[in-house]
A = this chain, B = another copy of it.
Amino acid sequence: MILIGELLNSTRKRVRAALETRDAAFVQDLARRQTDAGVHYIDVNTGALLDHEVECMQWLVRTVREVTDRPLCIDSPNPEALAAALELAGPGTLINSISAEARRYEDVLPLVRKHQAPVIALGMDDEGLPEDADRGYAVLSQLITRLERDGVAPANIFADPLVRPAGANTAIPPAVLDVIGRIRAAFPQVHISGGISNVSHGLPARKLINRTFLTLAMSRGLDAAILDPLDTVLMSEIAAAELLLGRDSFAMNFISLYRAGRLEEKP
């Protein structure tokens, strides 16, 4: 699994305050703890600071870079902020995100090409978020095909079926799981990613819902996720799922995590 740490997100109140006051200690602590938890990318999001986002993103990238060499995942709706961050963040940076919306596709594709960067490809177009599996699959598969035609290597595409709250519409998560399975079958070389915590928004026992959804999605072919890497039960379940999906020879990773006291089994 490719893990993308979600905690440095400006929609979180405490993070937003840290960005506004340029609280480097707070930001660097979250960057370090996510690194120690084993993430492959650290998401940096400044979208909530609309009026001075570019400057804020630049500060955030520099501040995180001081304490970790883990690649970043630059998360912004603003192409200028993406561009500025990509100049600073170094090679291997993941772009979050492109979509099939006409304007966004045109704005972000040049950045993907210039930096030869991996990119999260959101399965939505100008008609909005697909509600059923057929349209979800159609939009996302067409976006993948278009990116490949535009020169993006399959291994650089992180297809994202847009995980949305079960509480708002219980038909959406099963549709998203269907899309994951169909994309995995049709495009074996692309990554499939999703923002896991979205699924539990508005419901109780959110961590229970998040980890269960992640495991269901891994079973269908998801191999990357934006998540809270400090949720040790979630991380334990990922290790178990990797073992049970045949990706941990002789259970060596699972057993070494257990010996290091990093697996949480039961209440």
| Interfacial residues, chain A to chain B (CB-CB below 8 A) | 166-167, 170-171, 173-174, 177, 199, 203-209, 211-213, 215-220, 231-233, 236-237, 240-241, 243-246, 248-251, 254-255, 258, 263-267
Chain B's closest residue to A217 (CB) is: B219
Interface centre among A171, A220, A245, by most chain B C-beta atoms within 10 angstroms, is A245
Known: A205-B265, A258-B204, A265-B267. A212 touches B233 (CB 8 A): no
A166 near B243 with CB under 8 A, answer yes
Q: Shortest Cβ distance from A263 into chain B, in angstroms?
A: 5
Chain B's closest residue to A218 (CB) is: B216
A216's partner among B208, B231, B241 (CB-CB below 8 A) is B241
Copy count, this protein chain: 2
Known: A215-B215, A215-B216. A204 touches B263 (CB 8 A): yes
Known: A244-B199, A251-B166. A207 touches B265 (CB 8 A): yes
Residues in chain B near residue A236, CB distance under 8 A: 205, 208
Known: A218-B216, A241-B216, A266-B267. A251 touches B170 (CB 8 A): yes
User: Apart from A203-B254, A216-B245, what are 19 other A-B pairs with CB-CB below 8 Å?
Assistant: A166-B243, A167-B251, A170-B246, A173-B243, A174-B244, A177-B245, A204-B258, A205-B240, A205-B258, A205-B263, A206-B265, A207-B265, A208-B266, A209-B240, A212-B240, A212-B241, A213-B240, A215-B219, A264-B266
B207 near A244 with CB under 8 A, answer no
Known: A170-B246, A208-B263. A251 touches B203 (CB 8 A): yes
Q: Shortest Cβ distance from A51 into chain B, in angstroms?
A: 37
Chain B's closest residue to A252 (CB) is: B170
A174 near B245 with CB under 8 A, answer yes
B237 near A212 with CB under 8 A, answer yes
Residues in chain B near residue A199, CB distance under 8 A: 244
A208 near B244 with CB under 8 A, answer no
**12 A-B pairs in the complex with CB atoms less than 8 angstroms apart:** A167-B251, A170-B251, A174-B244, A174-B246, A177-B244, A204-B258, A207-B266, A208-B264, A208-B266, A211-B237, A215-B215, A233-B267
